[in-house]
Structure 1
Amino acid sequence: MKRIGVLLLTAVFCLLTVGGCGSGSSENSNAPVTIVATDNGWDSQKLHNAIAELIVEHAYEGYEFEVSTASSTMNWQALTAGDIDLDIESWTDNVATYEEDKANGYIIDLGVLVPDSAQGLYVPRYVIEGDGERGIEPMAPDLKTVEDLKKYPHVFPDDEEPDKGRIYGSIPGWMADEILYKKYQYYGLDKYYNYVRLGSEATLFASLESAYNQGEPWVGYCYEPTWITGKLDLVLLEDAPYDPELYLEGKCSFPAQQLKIVSSSKFPERAPELVDFFKKYRTGSELISKGLAHLIETGASHRETAIWLLKEYDYLLDEWLPVENAEKMRAYLNSLQTN
C-alpha cells in the first residue's frame, strides 16, 4: 500500500505543484484523483484500508488510494484541515474535538463500519478463574474492576522493579493512551504499578500472547476487534459506568463504540461516486477478526488478506457496490488467480 507523510509531504507538494492542492486543479484533467486515508498504526484499520484500496482502484475508474502514516492525533488534525480525505475505522469517542469538528463542518460522518467494539484493560481469564486443564490456579480471584488492581500488584510484577506491578499501556500517540494514562493516575495505580508503553501494537500483542502461552499473569490495554481478542480468552476489567462528561478524564469505562468512517468536508466534492460506497462499507467485529486471524495464521500481508476476505465473503460486494462495480471487482479478483 502506498504511503505518504501527513503534513510535510503535503506542504512540499502544495508548494511545488502549479495550482496548489485543490481537487481537480491538475494541468492534466485525466489524471487520477488520489484518495488519502489515515493509517494510525493498528492492524484492523490497515486491513480495512487494504479492502478500501482494492475497491477504490479496481471497482471504479480514475482513482488512486494512499495512506497517511502518523499518530491518530496528527492524522485527525490533517483530516479536519482537508489534507486527508478519510478516517476509516474512526474511534470518534476517543477524539476530544469530534463533536466540535463535526458541528463546525470540518468533517462528515459517512457511515458505521463496525457497530460493535470494546477497549480497556484486559487480563487472561485464567488470572481470575484459573485453568484446570493447564494446571493454573486462580491468581487474583476477586479481580473484577480496574480499581481492584490496587490489591494485586504482586500478581503482575515488573521485572525491572519487582516492588511494583506492571500495566501495559496503549500505543504512544494513540488517543486511547492519553485516556488510559489518566485512568491509571485517577485510580492511584501509579503508586502500585509502572505504566509501560511498548512501541507498537505488534509488540504489545506479542507480550500478551507470550504471557498467555506460558500461563503467566498479564494486565494491559487491548481492544476489539483484533486477532488477539479472537484467539485468546480474555476478560475486560469493569469500570465505572460510561459518562461522556468523565470519559476523557479517565474516570469511567471506555464506551462501547460504533467505529465510523469519517471524511473531510472536501471529500464528497472530490469523489462523489465513492461516497455511496463508503456509506455502505460495513464489516463488524466478527468478520474483521476472522480476517485478522487469517493474516496472523498464514503470514499474509494486509492486501493479501483483503483479497482473501473479498473472495471468501463475496456477498459483501453486492451489499457495498452497484451491480456494474461489483462485477468489475469480481473480474479483477478472478484475474489474480492467473497472475
Structure 2
Amino acid sequence: MKRILNLIFVTTLISSFVLIGCNNSSGSVVPTRAIGTIKFADAGWDSLSVHNEIARIIIENGYGYKTELMPGSETASLYAISTGSMDVFMEVWAGSYPIEYKSAIENGDIIEASVNSESTRQGLYVPTYVIEGDPERGIAPIAPNLKSIHDLPDYWEIFKDPDDPNKGRIYGANPAWNANKIFREKMKNYGLYKTFNYSESVTHTALNKSFINAYEKGDPWVGYIWTPTWTAGLYDITELKDAPYNEKDWLNGYRTEFPSQSLTIAVHSKLREQVPEVFEFLSNYSTSSAITTDFLAYMKKHDTTKHEAALWFLKEYEEVWTTWVPNNVSEKVKAKLQ
C-alpha cells in the first residue's frame, strides 16, 4: 500500500470501528480476494445507505452476485476500498479530503467509477424562522441579523447549551465522519470555543432528533446539516455563510465554506477485471441531489427502512435506473419488484 495512504489513514483505522478482514493475524494487508461476495462500505449516513440498497438489489437480482454491508468510519472505509478489503463506496464526499482521494486514484488503488450526484452543500444551518420568523406559527424573528458563521458569538445566548448556561451549543457531526474533524478545526480557528460548546452527535439519528425536537417547538438550533438529506427536503432551513471556498485556505485549517462537490462512486481497482458487468453498471449509476432528497423525504414521511426506500426508488424512478443496465438485467430486477 502506498506510503501516503498509510500515513493518512493508519491513525484513523486504529481508533475507528474495526473492519473485519482488513488485516491478517500478522498485521499485514490481506491480499486482494477473488470476488465471491461484493462488499459495500457503510459509513453511516442515510443517503449512502439507500444508494447501497439500490445497488445491492440490482446486483443481487440482476447479476446474481451476493453482496454484504461493511460498517466503518468514512476514512477507514475509503482505506478499505483502496486495499481491497471492501469493493464499493457508493457516495464518497471526496472534496473533504481532495489530496488523499486524488492520490489513491493516481496510485491505482481505487477507480472512480462514476459521479453519483452533483451540487452538494454542507455547513452550519439554522431553522429559517430563527432569522425570518414564521407568522403562521406565531414565531417572531429571534436573530434577524444572523447571516454568517462568524456572527454566532453575538448570538450565543440564543443557542444556550442546556448543560452549560455560560455558552451556546453547536450540534456537530458524527465522530466517525470527516466533517467532525473539519468542524472541530473550524471551531478552534474561528474562536468559537470561547462562546460555544461543540456537541458531537454520536449517531445520525441523534443529530436529526435534536433538530426535529427544536423545530417542532420553534426553538433556536444551530448545527451541521448537508444536502442532499431529508432534513433539507422537509424543513425550511438556512445555511450560515462562510468565506467563499478556495483551496489554499481550505487546506490551511478549513477557513472557508465547505466545497460544493460531486459525490462519487469509488471501487477497488481490481473490481473492473473481476466483475466487469457490475463495474459497467456502477459506471452508469448516476442520480442527482433532487432525486436523493426525494427518496430520503419519502423514507422519513413514511417511516420506512432504507431497503424499503430503495424499493420505492426502483418503482418510482424506473426511467432512471433502467438506463444503467442491459434490458435482460432490468427485466430480472423488475420481476422481483412485483
TM-score, normalization by structure 2: 0.90
Aligned to 1:337: none
Structure 2 counterpart of 1:332:
336
Distance in structure 2 (CA, Å) of the matches to 1:271 and 1:320: 16
1:69 aligns with 2:71: yes
Q: CA offsets per residue over residues 212-247 of structure 1, 9 Å max, x none?
A: 110000000011111111101000111111112222
2-structure distance, mates of 1:187, 1:142? 19
Query: What are the Cα deviations for residues 132-162 of structure 1, in whole angstroms up to 9, with x where unaligned?
Result: 1111111111111111111110110001111
CA RMSD, Structure 1 to Structure 2 (Å): 1.9
* Residue matched to 1:7: 19
- Give CA deviations for 1:178-198 in whole Å, capped at 9, x if unaligned: 111111111100000000012
CA contact (8 A) 2:50 2:310 kept: yes
Match of 1:88 among 87, 90, 96: 90
Unaligned runs of 5+ in 2: 1-16
Aligned to 1:202: 205
**Structure-2 residue corresponding to 1:30:** none
Aligned partners of 2:101, 2:299: CA distance in 1, in Å? Answer: 31
Matched pairs, number = 318
Counterpart secondary structure, 2:256: coil
Superposed displacement of residue 286, structure 1: 1.4
Please state how far the C-alpha of 1:312 moved relative to its aligned partner. Answer: 1.5
8 Å Cα contact 2:94/2:264 also seen in 1: yes
Q: Which runs of 5+ in 1 are unaligned?
A: 25-32, 335-339
The equivalent residue for 2:268 is 264
Equivalent residue letter for 1:293: A
What amino acid is the match of 1:284? S
Which of 291, 298, 303 is 1:299 aligned to?
A: 303
SS, match of residue 142 in structure 1: coil
2:232 aligned with 1:235, yes or no?
Answer: no
Q: Which amino acid aligns with 2:281?
A: F
Q: Secondary structure at the match of 1:319?
A: coil
Residue 216 of structure 1: which of 219, 225, 236 is its match? 219
How many Å apart are 1:53 and its aligned residue? 0.5
| Conservation of the 8 A alpha-carbon contact between 2:22 and 2:80 | no
Aligned-partner Cα distance in 2 for 1:42–1:7: 17
1:120 touches 1:222 (CA, 8 Å); kept in 2? yes
Residue 8 of structure 2: aligned partner: none
Q: 1:332 to 1:6 in 2, by over 3 A?
A: farther
Task: Give the match for residue 27 of structure 1.
Answer: none
Deviation at 1:12, TM superposition (A): 5.9
Residues 72-151 of structure 1 mapped to structure 2, 5 A cutoff: 72-95=74-97, 96-151=99-154
Partners of 1:21 and 1:302 lie apart in 2 by 29
Q: Return the match for 2:63 from 60, 64, 75.
A: 60
- The 1:156/1:262 distance shift into structure 2, 3 A limit, reads same
Opposite residue 297 of structure 1, the aligned amino acid is K
Q: Report the AA paired with residue 270 of structure 1.
A: Q
Paired with 1:8 and 1:102, the residues of 2 have a C-alpha distance of 24
Give the conservation status (yes or no) of the 8 Å contact 2:171–2:201. yes
2:63 match: secondary structure: coil
Q: Which residue of 1 aligns with 2:6?
A: none
Q: 1:333 to 1:289 in 2, by over 3 A?
A: same
After TM superposition, give the deviation of residue 318 of structure 1 in Å: 2.3
Say whether the 8 Å CA contact 1:6–1:75 is kept in structure 2: no
Determine helix, strand or coil for the equivalent of 1:320.
Answer: coil
Q: Deviations over 1:295-321 (max 9, x none)?
A: 122222111111111011211232111
Q: Give the alignment's TM-score, normalised by structure 1.
A: 0.89
Change (3 A) 1:13 1:58: farther
Please state whether the residue corresponding to 2:313 is helix, strand or coil: helix
Identity across aligned pairs (percent)? 39
